Amino acid sequence: MSKHHTPKKPNLEQLELMKERYEVYGEGLVVKTKYNRSPEVGEPVGNVDSRGYLQVRVLGRDMRAHHIVWFLTHGHWPEQPLDHIDGNKLNNSPDNLREARSGQNQKAYAKTYGAVGYRGISFRKDLGQYTARACVDGERTHIGHYDTPEEAAIARDLKCYKDFGYPWEGLNEIGQEYILKHYPDWIKDDD
């Protein structure tokens, strides 16, 4: 995969086999037509890879299940990275998937927060402060240093939401609450 995790398009034979073998149901893929060593018809398909994504092997190539769901739902292979809206890499429901701009880093939306407890925040022992960062156009962007992790998380979320176009679910809960209280006019209609 590329730097921005744009999914490599399968060949025509692989795409046709996907349409034949799988269908979208609930939170992902189920077997449509029984094939060698597959689960039974109607049962979920795939294995969780080392990064926590569900993957499926098609003609010797491992592919992420959410890319296949996108293909089966939209009729074309995704041309940009896909984002799990709720942060759950195993929820491959079509309503939970969206194409992200190639510069947006899906890691920013992950539901993992690290040791500090907030997205995009780390502790700088040498400074004795918390550092706020964001990923913009595939590059880490420094936002600032703060005395508390809460101050850092709020500053990061204000900058990410207002200036960098992050989606609502890409923010920390504390940042969402702050925006709702102090800047309700910032809330976008699609949030």
At how many degrees (to 10) do helices 149-162 and 173-182 cross? 70
CA 39 to chain centre: 27
Residues 37 and 21: their CA atoms lie apart, in Å, by: 12
* Residue 50 to residues 55, 64, 89, Cα–Cα distance (Å): 10, 12, 12
pLDDT, position 101 = 60
The pLDDT averaged over each successive group of 10 residues in the chain (191 residues) is 62 94 90 88 88 88 94 92 80 86 47 68 89 80 94 94 86 93 84 56
* Residue 70 to residues 32, 145, 155, 158, Cα–Cα distance (Å): 16, 39, 34, 31
Q: Name residue 139's beta-bridge partners.
A: 136
